[in-house]
Amino acid sequence: MMDVLEQVFGSGFGQRALLAAVMIGFLNGYLGGYVVIRRSALFAGALSHTIFPGIALGALIAGLNPVSALLGAGVTAMLVGLGATGVSASSRLDRDSALAILFTAAFGAGLIILRRLSTYVSLEDYLFGNILAVSNADLWFVFAAGGITLSILILLQRPLLIYLFSEVIARTQGIPVHLLAYLLAALIVLTMIISLQAVGAILTLGLLIAPASIMYLYVDSPRVILWGGGLLGTAVSVLCVIASYAFNTQTGPLIVVSLGLLFVLAYVCSPKYGLVFRIFKYYHMRQDPDA
């Protein structure tokens, strides 16, 4: 074990991977709290699928490289996410329906573009992530963009929570609900772009939703869900970077698998909302109806 730790902390790419894991894990876990409380996982999932056609478009225009991949993914996801939000705000169509149309069209376009590319294998790192390949420039981007995103989320925590729980109450308090909807969609997209090299376009949804979902099964406080999700995302991401060294496996898939196992554990064993607790409560009430 000491040899593994020496390899991780003693190498430049290991140190960069750990630093990236801290920011990406916390950012996803914290922002995921808003998504889970809002029950918008479907929206976030559709957005994650728009990253792939953006990467393909960027590769077609400027070749496959980190800059073209990030810019292409960001532009495409922003257009689809903000477009769906705009359609729902200006028509009778709901956001999920608009998003379903736009993201499937974008994904289809990505498949058409992919047929024109000759670098299929090179796309793997962008689809499934490779946090050990994070460069110094990537790390600066992760912390700069992640810091801005976290600052906005923390500063606007109160109006965001009011908006997520009740748009009617938010409007009566003068909170610009449509602006917050656009902002939240944009921050989800930005977070997915920040996480691209860590877990890739395919797996980014798991890192975004799982930590907050786990906390949601244990606690009721929205703020505990937000901050607890961030800390859990950080802890799992950092530990999986170390474990990927020890077991010679991909970090991104290991992160989402670990979070998936923790979610199953929470679903079964949570002392308040777990399956075991609910079964025990059900049988207890049947045996003693007056309890």
121, pLDDT greater than 60: no
Q: What is the pLDDT of residues 127-183, one digit of tens each?
A: 777 787 788 888 898 899 899 999 999 999 999 989 888 888 888 888 888 888 888
Give the residue from 218, 175, 217, 201 showing the smallest Cα distance to 256: 201
Task: Give the pLDDT confidence score for residue 22 in this predicted structure.
Answer: 93
pLDDT band per the 50, 70, 90 thresholds, residue 33? very high
237, pLDDT greater than 60: yes
Give the whole-angstrom CA distance, residue 240 versus residue 227.
Answer: 20
pLDDT band per the 50, 70, 90 thresholds, residue 285? low
Give the whole-angstrom CA distance, residue 19 versus residue 231.
Answer: 14
Helix (H, G, I), strand (E, B) or coil at 124: helix
Tell which wins on pLDDT, 54 or 220.
220
CB 234 within 8 A of CB 29: yes
Give the whole-angstrom CA distance, residue 26 versus residue 7.
Answer: 24
Q: What is the pLDDT of residues 80-106, one digit of tens each?
A: 877 887 887 777 777 778 877 887 787
Residues 8-39 as b or e (16 or more Cβ within 10 Å = b): beeeeebebbbbbbbbbbbbbbbbbbbbbbbe
* Half-sphere exposure for 85 (CA within 13 Å, toward CB): 22
Task: Give the pLDDT confidence score for residue 135 in this predicted structure.
Answer: 82
Lowest-pLDDT range, 45-49, 136-140, 235-239, 251-255? 45-49
What are the structural domains, with CATH classification, of the chain? 2-287 (1.10.3470.10)
What is the pTM (predicted TM-score) of this model? 0.83
Q: What is the pLDDT of residues 251-263, one digit of tens each?
A: 888 898 999 999 9
Across residues 173-197, what is the average pLDDT?
Answer: 84
Give the whole-angstrom CA distance, residue 111 versus residue 289.
Answer: 58
Tell which wins on pLDDT, 271 or 235.
235
Within a 10 A sphere around the Cβ of 228, how many other Cβ atoms?
Answer: 21
20, pLDDT greater than 60: yes
Place of tokens 């960069």: 16
Tell which wins on pLDDT, 20 or 49.
20
Q: In sequence order, which residues have a C-beta less than 8 Å from that of residue 59 and are 6 or more positions away?
A: 68, 69, 72, 113, 117, 119, 123
Q: In sequence order, which residues have a C-beta less than 8 Å from that of residue 253 and are 6 or more positions away?
A: 128, 129, 203
Give the whole-angstrom CA distance, residue 109 versus residue 86.
Answer: 21
Across residues 39-61, what is the average pLDDT?
Answer: 77
Across residues 189-206, what is the average pLDDT?
Answer: 81
Q: What is the pLDDT of residues 103-118, one digit of tens each?
A: 778 778 777 777 666 5
Q: In sequence order, which residues have a C-beta less than 8 Å from that of residue 151 and are 6 or more positions away?
A: none
23, pLDDT greater than 90: yes
